[in-house]
Amino acid sequence: MDNITVTINGKEYEVAAGITVLEAVKAANINIPTLCYLKDINEIGACRMCVVEVSEGGKPFRMVTACVYPVSSGRVIETDTPKITESRKLNLELLLSNHNQDCLSCVRSTTCELQKLCRDYGVSSSRFGGAKTDTHTDYSSEAIMRDNSKCILCRRCVAACKTMQDIGVIGANNRGFDTEIGCAFEMKLADTSCVNCGQCIVACPTGALHEKDQTEEVFAALADPDKKVYICTAPSVRATIGECFGYAPGTDVEGKMVAAIRRLGFDGVFDMNFSADLTIMEEGYELISRIKENKNLPLITSCSPGWIKYCEHYFPEFTDNLSTCKSPQQMFGSVMKTYFAQKNGLDPKDIYFVSAIPCTAKKFEVRRDHQCAAGEGIPDVDVAITTRELGRMIEKAGIDFRALEDEEFDNPFSIGSGAGAIFGTTGGVMEAALRTAAEVLTGKELKKVEFSEVRGNKAIKLATYDLGGLTVKVAVASGTKNAKELLNKIKSGEVEAQFVEIMCCPGGCVNGGGQPTQPAYVRNNTDLQGLRAAVLYNADANKLKYRKSHDNPQIKQIYAEFFGEPNSHKAHEILHTSYVKRGL
C-alpha cells in the first residue's frame, strides 16, 4: 500500500493511504478518545468522542469523526484544539444527561470508560435536565445482566454479538429518544438463543452489562461452619487475574492467586489443570473408540459450554457428534463429590464447590441437567465465579495481592500437566488430546509433543496426522462465527475431519467473557489473546514437570483407586453427560 503525507498537530507524517484519521493519529503515537469504536467490529462514529478538525487545500477546518473519516494526501489534522475539547465535553454532558450516575455502587466503577473520560475532561455533571429514556433491566439470564439505565447506545455489545459472534440476539429497539438495546419483540435474554458467551460484557464500556454476581453466595458459604468449601481455578485465570491488580496483560500470577484465595478462607485450593488432564483421558480414548468404530464422527470437543449451547440451538444435527465428556469444571465437581468425598469421609451435601473460571457461560452450565454425579439435588459445582468476581472478592477482603508470596495448590489435585495448562487457548484441547492419542495408538513416546499446526488465532485451522498408521484429520475453530463456517463446510463435504475442537470465544478461554475488562484502547491496540496465551504455553514448555495428561501421577492414581480405566462404566456415570436439541 502506498504512503501519503499528512500533517497532524503541525508535524508531517508518512502514513498508509486508505486508513482512517484515527489510525493515522495512532501511527503518529497520539491518542484521541473513543467510546463506541472497537477495531474491525464497531466503526460507526456514533459517540462523537473521537472528533478532530481537518482541512485540505487551504479550506477552513471542519469537524469529523476520526474513526470513520479517511485520510488523504496533504490533509491537515488537529486533534486537540479548544473547539475539539468543548465538543467532547458537550458530548459527555449529553451522555450523562440520560445516564444513571449511581457510580459508587456500579460494578464498573474505576474501570468504566465513560467515567474515565468524564474525569479526564473535568465533566462531573450535566447542565441538561429534563426527561430520561424509560429503560429496562433484564436479569432473566443465568449469566448476563443488563441495566439499560447505564447504556450509552454505543452498540459495542451489539457488534460483539452480531459481527464478531454472528449470533445477533440483541440490537437497537425503538427509535429516537426511546431507543434502547434489547432482544427482538422485547423478549427476555433467557428466552432467546443467547449462548451466554459474555463477549457483550467485555465489549461494554460502562456498567450496562455485567455477569450475574455470586460473590455474596460464596462469602456466605465460607462463613458457614457446616460447609467444607473448596475451589479450583481454570488454566487461564492465572494468566489474567493479575490484570485486576494492575499487572500487565500476559503476567503469570499463579502463586499469588493461590495465596490470595487461601486467605479468603477456602478449605482447599485446587488446580483445574488436573481435571483438564482427566478430560483428555476420557475424550482421547473416546476419540480412539469412535474412529475405530467409525461412529458419530467427527468427534467434537465439549469443554466450552457456550459452544455446546450454540450447537444445541444452531446445529442440533451435530449434538450426536459432541463428546459426551463433561467439561473440566464439571468433572472436577463430580470428582470432589464422589471420589474426594469418599476418600475423606465427607457427605457430598456438606461440600460446597466453587470454580473460578474465565467464562460467563459456566454459570449456565452448572444448572444443566445431568450435572449431579453424587445424586439428584447435589450439583457437581455449586457456583461458578468469573475471573472478575474472584478479583472483586480478593479486593473486598482487603488482601494485598501484589504483596503476597507465591504459594502452591493443595493436594490431592495439585498436579496438572502442560497439556492441561494449554486448555485455556484455542487449539489447546486439540493438542492435549493428540499428545495422548498419539502415544496410545503408536505405543511409543513422542519425541516432539508440540502440534504447532493447531496453534495460533487463525479463524479455522486444519491439519492431518499419522498416528500409528491411523490417519487423523483435525479442525479447530474459535468464536461461533468461525464455528458456523467450519460446521457448514463439514456438512457440505468441503472439510473432512475426524476430530474437531471448537471454543465459543475468539481465541479461547484467555479471551473469555468472564475475563478482566480492558478499555477499548487496549483491546484495539494490544494482542490480549496472544499475551495471555503465551503464559499457558510457557507453563507447558518451561514450568510444568509433565507435558502429557496420561503422565500425570495423580491422574494415574484416580484411575487406579476409583475409575479403573478411561471410559469405564463408572467413568461414564460420573464424568459424562448428554445434550439437548434445542433449535431456534
Mean pLDDT of 465-493: 95
Give, as one character, the DSSP assignment of residue 445: -
Q: What is the pLDDT of residue 583?
A: 79
- Listing DSSP states for 124-190 in one string gives -S-S--S------EE--SSSEEEEGGG-----HHHHIIIIITS----EEES-GGG-EEE-GGG--GG
Q: What is the pLDDT of residue 537?
A: 97
- Taking only the tens place, the pLDDT of each residue in 78-123 is 999 999 999 999 999 999 999 999 999 999 999 999 999 999 999 9
Mean pLDDT of 476-505: 97
* Domain ranges in the chain with CATH number 3.10.20.740: 3-80
**3 state DSSP class of 499:** strand
Q: How far apart are CA 417 and CA 275, in angstroms?
A: 10
Give, as one character, the DSSP assignment of residue 52: E
- CATH value of 103-211 in 1.10.10.10, 3.20.20.210, 3.30.70.20, 3.40.50.300: 3.30.70.20
Q: Count Cβ atoms within 10 A of the Cβ of residue 124 and give its class: 0-12 exposed, 13-18 middle, 19 or more buried.
A: exposed
Q: How far apart are CA 501 and CA 308, in angstroms?
A: 12
* Domain ranges in the chain with CATH number 3.40.50.1780: 216-575
Contact 14, 75 (CB under 8 A): no
Mean pLDDT of 559-584: 95
Q: What is the pLDDT of residue 227?
A: 97
Can you tell me which residue has the cell 428466552? 191
- CATH value of 216-575 in 3.40.50.970, 2.102.10.10, 3.40.50.1780, 3.30.10.20: 3.40.50.1780
Give 11's contacts (C-beta < 8 A, 6+ positions apart): 28
- Describe the crossing of helices 273-293 and 328-335 by its angle, rounded to 10 degrees: 110
Q: Is the pLDDT of residue 222 over 70?
A: yes
- Taking only the tens place, the pLDDT of each residue in 163-185 is 999 999 999 999 999 999 999 99
* Domain ranges in the chain with CATH number 3.30.70.20: 103-211
- Taking only the tens place, the pLDDT of each residue in 1-50 is 689 999 999 999 999 999 999 999 999 999 999 999 999 999 999 999 99
- CATH value of 3-80 in 3.40.640.10, 3.40.50.1360, 3.10.20.740, 3.20.20.70: 3.10.20.740
Mean pLDDT of 349-354: 98
Task: Choose among 279, 156, 260, 141: nearest CA to 211.
Answer: 141
- Taking only the tens place, the pLDDT of each residue in 127-157 is 888 889 999 999 999 999 999 999 999 999 9
Give, as one character, the DSSP assignment of residue 505: S
**3 state DSSP class of 510:** helix
What's the pLDDT band for 584 if we cut at 50, 70, 90? Answer: confident
